[in-house]
Amino acid sequence: MNYPIITVKEQLLADNDAVAAKTRSLLQAQGVVLVNLMGSPGAGKTSSLLRLIRLLDGLRIGVMEADVDSDVDAKTVSAAGTKVVQLHTGGLCHMDAAMTAQGLEALGPEGLDLVFLENVGNLVCPAEFDVGADLRMMILSVPEGDDKPLKYPLMFQVSDVMLVNKMDAAPVFDFDLEAASQRAKALNPGIQIFPVSAETGEGFQKVAALLRGLCAERRQNG
Amino acid sequence: MNYPIITVKEQLLADNDAVAAKTRSLLQAQGVVLVNLMGSPGAGKTSSLLRLIRLLDGLRIGVMEADVDSDVDAKTVSAAGTKVVQLHTGGLCHMDAAMTAQGLEALGPEGLDLVFLENVGNLVCPAEFDVGADLRMMILSVPEGDDKPLKYPLMFQVSDVMLVNKMDAAPVFDFDLEAASQRAKALNPGIQIFPVSAETGEGFQKVAALLRGLCAERRQNG
């Protein structure tokens, strides 16, 4: 096992947004872009991450895998040759800014272009915490259903990007991409929506291009 | 709209287990069985519930739909002619015992045989709270993947019953039922596992029989 496993602790009394702002300015100075990747259990966060890492060849990438327990995802991502740290939340269903700062310290973002935080699988709590990311990317997968923006609105409100994953399985499920998109845009008109399939790789080129653009911009302004 | 919408409040200082025990003995005296239905967003909690309600013809059933927001599920269940109350958690990702007691008061369990609490879609937090249910039933759906017991162990540890839903989609996904079952049983040897499909109805007869048995037993001892 070639990645550290860290138990991160929430900082109940700290002002989350102040810690997040500090992280953001620190990463900006270091020329690093941080992406907060969120979604339900099984939405395809890790497999989407693997697709993006492959497409972002040439960028120096680090990954923080947050989990209540286990290191299943860190193992998978580490096997792909990426710098990884596994974060255990000790039962908590989300990452806050302080926990993310602890994770970044363990990972060491210096010299990286892009860091992904794979948040705990959950459509509720992770949406409530600004962790200091430059981009909030959420994944809705086809089998979850197109009504999810109605039921978990905050996640769709706070996300900059929404991947609609498992599009290859769309024929099997009664999923209406147009309805899901409209529901998400009603909550968040600026949300960028990308239909993808981590299984086939479909649609990830555009997401990778977006991330490359963010990294190029960060380097210029860093 | 023919169902009440209640905003329930958590009771931070109360002893959750004491409130849960009180609920349990109250329901026992009333001859009512309470089932706590849990699972990820989109695992198929509502559609499984509808399948079970149809199969449990003759039983007097009530449903508490818990959601951070919206009344999508209450609408669906109410349309099926069942007594329903919609509970809003005000952003919280789980139901605790006090919130459940508030929901039961709004529903009115007197004269019912069986009450379902459809918990907030989440594999983490709902597992931490005894709400006073007689049976904890969790749903793992095929598209979520067979590794979920490794990543969200508490949910599998505390559940009496595990439905493996969307079995009709198994050919599309790389899902190993045997592996998922073994992982769940390693955490909880007593867990009862039922492969089902809310889409086709497959497998729900056995689950319905289990619930009928619990209700019959409750009536005899009530």
ipTM of the complex: 0.83
Q: What is the CATH number of the domain that holds A97?
A: 3.40.50.300
Question: What per-residue confidence (pLDDT) applies to B13?
Answer: 58
Interface of A with B in 50-69 (CB under 8 A): 67-69
What percent of chain B has pLDDT above 90? 80
When scoring B40, B65, B94, B138 by the number of chain A Cβ atoms within 10 A, the one with the most, hence best to mutate, is: B40
pTM of the model: 0.89
Residue A28 lies in a domain: yes
- What is the pLDDT confidence band of residue B71, given thresholds at 50, 70 and 90? confident
Q: 3-state class of A95 per DSSP?
A: coil
- What is the pLDDT confidence band of residue B171, given thresholds at 50, 70 and 90? confident
Handedness of CA B11, A154, B40, A75 (dihedral sign): negative
Range of the domain at B24: 5-221
Q: State the DSSP H helix or E strand holding residue A46, giving kind and residue range, or none if neither.
A: helix A45-55
When scoring B10, B94, B151, B175 by the number of chain A Cβ atoms within 10 A, the one with the most, hence best to mutate, is: B151
* Packed helices A45-55 and A204-221: angle between N→C axes, nearest 10 degrees: 60
pLDDT for A190 beyond 90? yes
User: How many structural domains does chain B have?
Assistant: 1
Question: What per-residue confidence (pLDDT) applies to B79?
Answer: 85
Residue A41 lies in a domain: yes
Q: How many residues does chain B have?
A: 222
Question: What per-residue confidence (pLDDT) applies to A13?
Answer: 58
B21 inside 8 A of chain A by CB: no
Q: State the DSSP H helix or E strand holding residue A48, giving kind and residue range, or none if neither.
A: helix A45-55
Residue A29 lies in a domain: yes
In whole angstroms, what is the distance from residue B43 CA to residue A139 CA? Answer: 15
CA atoms within 13 A on the CB side of A66: 33
Cross-strand bridge partners of residue A165? A141
A125 inside 8 A of chain B by CB: yes
* B30-60 tens-digit pLDDT: 999 999 999 999 999 999 999 999 999 999 9
Residue A175 lies in a domain: no
- What is the pLDDT confidence band of residue B14, given thresholds at 50, 70 and 90? low
Contact B33, B134 (CB under 8 A): yes
Mean pLDDT calculated for residue range A112-137 = 96
CA atoms within 13 A on the CB side of B60: 11
Task: Compute the mean pLDDT over every residue in chain B, rounded to the nearest whole number.
Answer: 93
The amino acid present at A98, given as its one-letter code, is A
Contact A154, B52 (CB under 8 A): no
pLDDT for B109 beyond 70? yes
Residues in chain B within 8 Å Cβ distance of A124: 68, 91-93, 120-122, 125
Q: State the DSSP H helix or E strand holding residue A72, giving kind and residue range, or none if neither.
A: helix A72-79
pLDDT for A170 beyond 60? yes
Residues 6+ apart with CB under 8 A from B96: B10, B11, B16, B19, B129, B131
Residue A191 lies in a domain: no
The amino acid present at B134, given as its one-letter code, is D
Q: 3-state class of A191 per DSSP?
A: coil
pLDDT for A105 beyond 90? yes
pLDDT for A1 beyond 60? no
Mean pLDDT calculated for residue range B108-119 = 96
Question: What per-residue confidence (pLDDT) applies to A37?
Answer: 98
Per the listing, tokens 């209640």 go with B6
Which of A142, A144, A151 shows the shortest C-beta gap to B69?
A151
pLDDT for A122 beyond 60? yes
A156 inside 8 A of chain B by CB: no
